[in-house]
Structure 1
């Protein structure tokens, strides 16, 4: 029996930037996205899809499948990372950076 490990479990990330200038190009883009979704990929960001895989061997199966779907135009990147690395991703959503308040009031506790 294989022991589950954060270093054995893998994530496959697919990054893509496909042209959508014509109706035919939009159809190719939509078809590519639908194939990713049908294969178990979930949207991480607009053009980044991720899939959890139980092992590096399983990840390779899905990577080879994505390679068969590559459109003629545009750019597609595929990255395989461990579950441990995926867990270290820092995500920020809607965070506005503003000025820190000047000075702070010190409280006395008895």
Structure 2
């Protein structure tokens, strides 16, 4: 019988596989120059992302703990998510487990 952790990891891996399937349908992107905003030059470009206030608050709290600007932490989290797909499920489950444990201790 699978543990709760293994079940959560499997569910997350299925979700990542769904994203991979969607991504495979979107491989015909226009050339980068056509996608970039007018006037964007250099090695990076600005990407505007809409997040819930609770996510922004969590990102800012974690950034304060690490001493990084929130935008740098967000960029690093995106890189992590895109580069280590197989490990992301385990990381998410471990993080969720850690938060759950802390909440149980704080609010018995």
Q: TM-score range by the shorter chain?
A: under 0.3
Larger of the two Rg values belongs to structure: 1
Greater strand proportion: 1
Greater helix proportion: 2
